[in-house]
């Protein structure tokens, strides 16, 4: 009876997390489909921190004794898809350039240039393809999760209480404020350390056993606070975690925590609805939407250019087209979510659906 109860709670939390991931990935696509403005700033204030937080939420203390197992899982779920999809897009680079998917500053790759780009991808996880620009997230998540593992393992060897973990979180936040002065010289950036902070906060959130839902009034209040916060100081949030100034980073971090808290509350409500199964389906396949949505955008842009009889060279504009003042964000949103899932459905027969799982 007791085991069944805890299993039920665990399954319920997994459903809420899957719903949150599905909303998060829809917000990623919508953030790329919308022109800059208030809604864009609201989305960018928390949508990527949400994924670092959720990944940290499922970090297990058992990995302190099984570091090799943890590294193997991280490499399988993050590095392997990064490498495979990057290789596929590299092989298609010249074709994408011919189809005007890339801007004029891109050039045809010779065989040696392709191999060099692949070497950078394999050894440094460099993002060389514009249609995979979002892959900075996979690199940051891999580094952040490994950094948290080894920092916490070291701290736990000195202090057994929770304050050591909070001290590591504070250290990561402080370093993210200072790293822009010296970090780029050694390949370290503030957004990577900030990602580690979100990852660690997700782990601590689980250990504190805080519920995802605190009641309707609390949820409405947090929603109002987030909307007001972004309205008052949201313009510097337009690039999300990337390019934050040291002065705005603390404001962004706090705003993103409010956003995560709010989205988890709404996810808990939606997990009880009849749409929960649909949300879970998308939430369990976020990697494919994340990887292919910018490519799916090109198909929408192609249709718009044909509709308005515009030159196909404008396909290089991106990620979306603005035609005579009209933005087809809804078309980009539907295509960005549905087409990658359709591709995954087609690829099931050859096993590619297991990548990153």
Counting residues of the chain whose pLDDT is more than 70, the rounded percentage is 92
In this structure, the strands spanning 326-327 and 322-323 are antiparallel
- pLDDT, one tens digit per residue, over 106-157 is 889 999 999 999 999 999 999 999 999 999 999 999 999 999 999 999 998 8
What's the pTM? Answer: 0.93
Alpha carbons within 13 A on the beta-carbon side of 165: 18
Q: What is the pLDDT of residues 282-321, one digit of tens each?
A: 999 999 999 999 999 999 999 999 998 999 999 998 899 8
Burial of 55 (0-12, 13-18, 19+ CB in 10 A): buried
pLDDT band, very low/low/confident/very high, at 2 (cuts 50, 70, 90) = very low
Integer Rg of the chain from CA = 21
Domain chopping of the chain, boundaries: 2-354
Task: Tell me what pLDDT residue 229 has.
Answer: 92
Cα dist from 121 to 40, 138, 356, whole Å: 30, 12, 17
Helices vs strands, H then E, count in the chain: 15, 2
Q: pLDDT tens, 166-195? A: 899 999 998 888 886 666 655 678 899 999
Instruction: Say what the pLDDT of residue 76 is.
Output: 94
* pLDDT tier for residue 350 given thresholds of 50, 70 and 90: confident
Q: For residues 211 and 23, give the distance between their C-alpha atoms in angstroms, rounded to a whole number.
A: 19
Q: What is the mean pLDDT of residues 30-40?
A: 91
Q: What pLDDT sits at residue 354?
A: 59
Q: Cβ(7)–Cβ(30) under 8 Å?
A: no
The number of beta carbons lying within 10 Å of the beta carbon of residue 21 is 22
């Amino acid at each position: 009876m007791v085991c069944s109860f805890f299993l039920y709670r665990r399954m319920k939390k997994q459903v809420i997390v899957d719903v949150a991931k599905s909303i998060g990935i829809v917000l990623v696509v919508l953030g790329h489909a919308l022109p800059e403005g208030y809604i864009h700033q609201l989305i960018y204030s928390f949508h990527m921190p949400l994924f670092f937080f959720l990944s940290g939420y499922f970090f297990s203390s058992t990995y302190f004794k099984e570091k090799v197992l943890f590294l193997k899982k991280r490499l399988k779920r993050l590095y392997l898809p990064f490498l495979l999809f990057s290789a596929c897009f590299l092989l298609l680079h010249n074709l994408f350039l011919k189809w005007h998917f890339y801007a004029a500053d891109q050039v045809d790759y010779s065989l040696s240039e392709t191999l060099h780009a692949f070497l950078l991808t394999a050894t440094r996880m460099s993002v060389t393809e514009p249609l995979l620009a979002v892959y900075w997230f996979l690199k940051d998540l891999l580094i952040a999760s490994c950094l948290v593992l080894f920092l916490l393992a070291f701290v736990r060897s000195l202090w057994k209480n929770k304050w050591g973990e909070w001290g590591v979180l504070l250290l990561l936040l402080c370093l993210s404020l200072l790293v822009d002065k010296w970090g780029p010289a050694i390949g370290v950036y503030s957004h990577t350390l900030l990602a580690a902070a979100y990852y660690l906060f997700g782990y601590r959130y689980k250990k504190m056993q805080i519920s995802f839902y605190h009641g309707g009034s609390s949820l409405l209040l947090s929603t109002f606070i987030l909307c007001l916060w972004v309205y008052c100081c949201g313009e510097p949030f337009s690039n999300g975690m990337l390019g934050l100034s040291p002065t705005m980073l603390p404001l962004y971090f706090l705003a993103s925590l409010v956003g995560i808290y709010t989205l988890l509350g709404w996810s808990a409500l939606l997990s009880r609805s009849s749409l929960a199964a649909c949300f879970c389906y998308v939430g369990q396949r976020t990697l494919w939407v994340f990887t292919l949505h910018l490519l799916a955008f090109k198909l929408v842009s192609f249709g718009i250019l044909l509709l308005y009889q515009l030159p196909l060279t404008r396909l290089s504009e991106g990620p979306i087209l603005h035609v005579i003042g009209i933005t087809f964000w809804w078309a980009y949103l539907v295509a960005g979510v549905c087409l990658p899932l359709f591709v995954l459905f087609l690829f099931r027969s050859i096993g590619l659906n297991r990548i990153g799982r």
